[in-house]
Every structure is written in structure tokens, then in C-alpha cells.
Amino acid sequence: MAFLLLFLLLAGYVSAGEATSLQELENAQRNSERIERSKWASLLHPSSSDSTLAVTYFHKQYAFIGVNIGTDVSDMPTPAQVVALLKAQNIQHVRLYDADRAMLLALANTGIRVIVSVPNDQLLGIGQSNATAANWVARNVVAHVPATNITAIAVGSEVLTTLPNAGPVLVSALKFLQSALVAANLDQQIKVSTPHSSSIILDSFPPSQAFFNRTWNPVMVPLLKFLQSTGSYLMLNVYPYYDYRQSNGIIPLDYALFRPLPPNKEAVDANTLLHYTNVFDAVVDAAYFAMSYLNFTNIPIVVTESGWPSKGDSSDELDATIDNANTYNSNLIRHVYNNTGTPKHPGVPVSTYIYELYNEDLRSGPVSEKNWGLFNADGSPVYTLHLSGAGTVLANDTTNQTFCVAKNNADSKMVQAALDWACGPGKVDCSPLLQGQPCYEPDTVAGHATYAFNAYYQLMGKSPGTCDFKGVATVTTTDPSHASCIFPGSVDRNGTRTNHTSLAPSANSSTSGCFSQYTYNGGYFTSSVILGSLLLSSVFL
């Protein structure tokens, strides 16, 4: 969806002649669309006025930021690791693209609010069978509440634009799922809706003349009636990145990234005289106006996806950069938390889920498709958001909260050799691993290696490449400290960060940090074995 014509004229980016040329290409379709829109509006009963928008729920709450959790990741973290990252980042709202049982169990008793989803490939079955919908709710919702704080069901994803054949059963699916929630007495705490692409909105600028693609009016009208009658909300995916790209340079990058604009560059809706300083607000208001033309003025909007890619193809995705991604998401978070709402509905929160938690390297398509994440699969941030004064969510620099651990199922001989190197040539102080010392237990190769690997990683300032050890180590955001064994880089009970990452004691020290002999399961690893390992394995970093 592109912002055209009036925005371009009012903001001064095209001439009147150029706008007229563009207008001629679309006038016929727009006129027929408006006639159709008026016809549908006349068939509906008027609903509450704009002033009553979300009075029972959204006016009483502050906007929040959540994240989407995609799983097209080659080295997908375990559910426990995902939850550890969410906790570390104080993320209290997540959207899953399915209803994975392991993930829902890991989220239990955390208080994190969860949107579960019906994948598109299950939509037809649920939309055609009340029993199938009831079974889905029993298995994926009832079985997990109240321990897991499920707050909504997202039915499909951008169904009207990606799976149009399922459009006719979409509302039936919502109604069947709602009936199952009512039967389970969960309808008050769990809402049912479906995420839409903003491309279903036509003539999007100025927002006051926006309307839904009339092709989908037979679905949108009963859908909006359903949302209104159940107190639910319109789920909308808003991507200023695509709006900016599709404008072929006409929309200013600053306008897409929430950067401040001089007053003469702000877009003004000539019909309402509302000023728009960013694409995000204009898209949201376009959706509000599109609903109002169908006489629905009291349905709030939650943005279920928004973000900016940090990397793109070198030839035609030049604005998919770390700097732009950081700028967009940092400004988006501030904008949402300011609770200013939009020009059409000031003060009405627009809660938003950032797309997405992890970079999904298995996604097909252009390079940008794999690089929307805030974090890499190992839990390290793709970039550190600039969120000073914007609240606590996602405000932590996780580069200060990462640890190096031995990989599960790594070759034990390789782990042993790497451990020997870390405690020898790597100059790590491994004395806490000696028998009787705090980190002796668990007395295993992997347990001791994790301590040694992390100590080296912290000693090297967590520089890239210092947590590899020939592929047997990995970075994690989960603190591996246990009992009285506090790992370097950890935060102790008093909130003080430990930095005991000194070099191994010298040969004159009373305690040697480089063990002259290790004993594991009766096997002796002497200094000669260490030297042999080094010769065989070369270096580990």
C-alpha cells in the first residue's frame, strides 16, 4: 500500500501536474469503490460514536510493546531459552504463530501475556466445523490456562491477501472459536480476531478518504460486527518499510522512521486538517477511517506486526540497514509508550508487537526476509536499541548479559581438549574448578568446560569469535551460575556484576590455575595430553 496524491501534494513532493497524471490512473476504480462503499454503509445500522471508542477496555489501559516469535531458525533456542530471553528483556506480551505445546508450557507461571495462533493451513478445517474448533480450543487453550496467560487467539495471518480461498470461512472460524471459549467460560479474558495486511486498505492518504478493498466487504462487514459484539479489536500489520519502498523514493525516509520533520514537511489531511508526522500513525488512522465508512467507530486497533529489517540485498534493499532498523524500532517503542495515540484518536493506545524476536535464517525470499529480528538465535542482540527514558522493556543491553557455555551433545574429546586449552594457554584461572572449590560440581567435562569457556569469553571482553572453541561452545543469555558457583559476568544477589576474570595465577602462585592433572571418570589428562590436544586441534578460537 502506498501513500499517494494528496500526501504528495500537501507535503510538496510532487507537482500538481504529476499528481494529476497519477490520479488519472486510479480515478475510475476509486469512484466505483466509493459508490460500493456508500452502498455497504447504508445497509448497516449506525454504531456508537467515535467518542466511545474502546471505553470499556482500551481507554483504561496504557499501550504496550510485545514481540512476535517466529521459529524458522536453523538453531532455534529451546522454549526455556526463549523464555529466559523474554524475562531478561522484560517482555510481557508475545505473539506465537502457532500454539506449540512446549512453548506454552515454558511460558506457564511467567505472567507473560500470550497470543496463540491458528496457522493458515488449519483455518479451513476450523472454519467448516464447530467440533474441530472446539477441539482446537480444548487442546491449545483450555489445557494451558490459567497457568499460561493466554489473552487472544489470532485466526490465520493476513488471510484475505495470502489465502483468499479461505476468506469465505474466516468469520465462521472466528465464531466457532468464540463459541468454544464461551463454553469454557474464557470468552471474557481471551479475545478472538485475525491479523490483516494494511494492503487491504485502499486510497490510504489522506487517511480520511481510506476504505477497505470492496472485494472483501462481504467478509469485512460481518467480521467487524463480530469484533464489535465480542469486544475484540482489529489486528493490523503495519510496515512503513514497505510503504517507503513502494513509493519509489517519494515518501521521505525520515517520515517512515519517525524522525522529526519540519512543520512544512508534515503531511496534512485536507479533509480533517490533522497533521501526520509518520507513516505508522497515518496507516492506523486509515484503518480507523475505513472502518468508520462502514459505520464501525468503536473497534480499537492492535498492531500485530511492525518492524524494519536490519539487512537486505545489496542491489535493491539499500535501506534495510542496522542503523535504520535501530532507528525505526527505537522510535516506535518510544512512540507507543508515549501513549499519545494517533491524530484521529489522541490518547487511545495503539499497542504494537514488533516483528520479530529472532532473525529467521530459514525464511525464503530476499535477504531482508531473514533479518527482521531484534536478536540472533544465540540471544545476542542484532543491535542495541536506543531507549533511554522509554521504559524498561527491551532497554537492557544484552551484550552485558551473555555467557559462553559448552554445546549440548558436543564431542566430549573436543570439549576436553578445549577445556585443557582454556585452562592452559588460554590463561583462564580455573582454580574454582578444583575439588573442594565452589565450581567443582558438577564434576563433568561439560560442566567444567562451561565455566572455563565463559571465563575466557568474559576475559576477552566478549569479543566476536571468543566463544567458539572449534564449534563446541555457544553464546547464551541464560546465566549458568548455580549454588555458590557464580560465573564471571553474572550478577550476584546484591545486584553487583562479577568480574573475576583474572588470568591464571603465575607459576609462583600458591594455587595453580593450569591444572597439572585432570581426573574424569578415571581418565587422566596430563600436561602431555594437553600438548597433544593442542597439536591436533591447533587453536580453538
Q: Which residues are catalytic?
A: 158, 305
| 89, 396 contact by CB (below 8 A) | yes
Read out DSSP for 41-102?
Answer: HHTSPP---GGGTTTTTGGGS---EEEEE----TTPPPHHHHHHHHHHTT--EEEESS--HH
Buried b (16+ CB within 10 A) or exposed e, 227-256: bbebebbbbbbbbbbbbbbebeebbbeebb
Instruction: Collapse the DSSP code of 287 into the 3-class scheme (helix H, G, I; strand E, B; otherwise coil) and give the result.
Output: helix
d(CA 20, CA 38): 25
| 63, 351 contact by CB (below 8 A) | yes
| Dihedral angle, C-alpha 321, 324, 328, 331, nearest 10 ° | 140
From residue 236, give the alpha-carbon distance in Å to each of 65, 126, 405, 512. Answer: 14, 22, 40, 61
Question: What's the half-sphere exposure (Cβ side, CA atoms, 13 Å) at 385?
Answer: 25
| 280, 351 contact by CB (below 8 A) | no
Instruction: Name the DSSP letter for residue 501.
Output: -
d(CA 481, CA 497): 12
391, burial (CB in 10 Å: exposed 0-12, middle 13-18, buried 19+) = middle
**Quick one: three-class SS letters along 108-160?**
CCCCCEEEEEECHHHHHHHHHCHHHHHHHHHHHHHCCCCCCEEEEEEECCCHH
d(CA 368, CA 363): 10
